[in-house]
Structure formats: structure tokens, C-alpha cells
A and B are shown apart, each in its own frame.
Chain A
Amino acid sequence: MLSPREKELIAEIWQRMTPVAEDIGAEALLRMFATQPGSKTYFSHLDISPSSAHLRSHGKKIVLAIAEGAKDISQLAITLGPLQTLHAYQLRIDPTNFKFFSHCMLVTLAAHMRNDFTPVAHAAMDKYLSAFAAVLAEKFR
């Protein structure tokens, strides 16, 4: 369960990350591809080498979707409707990969925010990203 204070914190952090969405998104993806090579199999149609245009634009898309969801967490199922369909019927990404990506996103946030990524912020963000991933996986079955 996310407390009102945690929801505020999450929204603040994503607002702060929106201007650097490309950097954050690309880095999180890169970390995932490096530590979980199996995740690369979903991107064989793109150039995912470091600093590639594909990597940055894709990273940006993901971060902006996460940031959008953070503006009203109680509405996640509605906000993510189209993305749920996309992931379940077209992309068919095994939802375990959502967990890998979430962890890499947390590491990226920690590396960027340093001491500002407090245990309270970490816990809140982990809860949010888990909820996001769960909603995203809803149409799989």
C-alpha cells in the first residue's frame, strides 16, 4: 500500500526525472541488457548499443509512461490500458522481465540521485514499479 506521502514522493521524483527521461531510460535499459542478457531477445529489431538513437528514444518512451502513471497512481489500470494490450498481445514480453527492468531502474535512480535516494524513497519507488509492472501484465491471461 502506498501512503499519501509516498505517492507525493514518487510523483516528485518522476517530475524531476522527466527532463532527463532519455538518459535515465537508456541507462536503465543498458543495465538490464548487460546484467540480464536474455532480455535482449526482445530487441533484435533495434540497435541497442550504448548511446544509439533507438536506445535513447525507447528509454525515453518508457520513462515518460512511468512518469505519467505516477501523476495519479490510483488510475493506473485506466492510464495503462493501451500499454497493457500492446505488451500482452503484440510485444508478448515475459513479465519476469518487468522485474529485471524495475531493479535496473532503481539502480539508475540511485546512481543519479545519490543520497537523495533515501531508503524511504527506495521503498516507495519499489512499490510503485511493482504495481506498474503488475498492471502492465494484467491482460496476459
Chain B
Amino acid sequence: MVKWTDEERKVINSIFSNLDYNDVGPKALRRHFGSFGDLTTAAAIMKNAKVAAHGIKVLHGLDRALKNMDNIKDAYTELSILHSEKLHVDPDNFKLLADCLTIVIAAKMGESFTPATHTIWQKFLNVVVSALGKQYH
């Protein structure tokens, strides 16, 4: 089980309470697919409504971790099985998307995304990424 200090809980909750899911979700996914060249052009991705909708869904998936910070591993069992057995997503992609999300949040928050905040955020994402990969066999 991952241990969280009160300060860390405060920082994570603060980032999420200031998050506009409808804005950040699509942006993170667009960057991920854009830098991967999976969809035809960056311009095409940015206009893509389906990518946008999916981004929002993925970001709301993070809510599950937020609400279960003391047991993220178990909270993600179902989602991990889904990603592995139904969606067939290569778990390397979780880290890539997490990195893109970090960059979107850094751009949103500017200098208030300090190295200290960044570290706490990174810890949170590391735990989620690990939990999502747990049910891959």
C-alpha cells in the first residue's frame, strides 16, 4: 500500500479541483497521439471530437484513484483487466500518456507547478500507471 502524507493528499486534491476535465482530457490525448503519429496529422487530431470525448473519459478514470488514494491498486483491478483483455493496450502507453498529461498540467499551471508539486503529481501518476498494469498476464 502506498503511503501519502497530508501535504501530498492536499496537493493532489488541489490539482484535481482546479482541473477543467473537458479542456485538459482532450489536450492530453491529443498530445499523446500527436507525438505518436497514430492519427494522420496533429491538425486532424486536434479537431477530432472522438479523441476529445475519449480524453475526458480517461481523465475521469483518474477520479477513481483520487477517491481511493489509500488503495489505488485494488480500485484499478477492473480497469486493468479491461485495458489488458478487452482494449489490448500496451502498458508502455500508460507512462507515455501520463507524461503528456503532466506536460498539459504544467502548461496550465505555469510556475505554480513547482518541482515539489511536480514530484507529488509524478508519484500519484506512477502509482496509477503501476495499478493499471497489474492485471496484465
> Which residues does A use to contact B, with CB under 8 Å?
27, 30-31, 34-35, 50, 103, 106-108, 110-115, 117, 119-120, 122-123, 126
Contact = CB atoms under 8 A, between A and B. Distances in A.
- Size bracket of the B interface: 20 to 34
Interface of B: 27, 30-31, 34-35, 42, 45-46, 99, 102-104, 106-111, 113, 115-116, 118-119, 122
Contacts of B99: 103, 106
B103 A123 contact: no
Contacts of B34: 119-120, 122-123
Contacts of A114: 107-108, 110
Dominant SS among interface residues on chain A: helix
A102 to B, nearest CB: 10
Nearest to B100: A122
Contact of B103 (A34, A50, A120, A122): A122
B46 A119 contact: yes
18 contacts: A30-B115, A34-B119, A35-B119, A35-B122, A50-B115, A106-B99, A107-B118, A113-B107, A114-B108, A115-B107, A117-B103, A119-B27, A119-B31, A119-B42, A120-B34, A122-B34, A123-B31, A123-B34
A2 B110 CA distance: 27
A119 B111 CA distance: 19
Contacts of A103: 99
B34 to A, nearest CB: 5
Contact of A120 (B27, B42, B106): B42
Contact of B115 (A27, A115, A120): A27
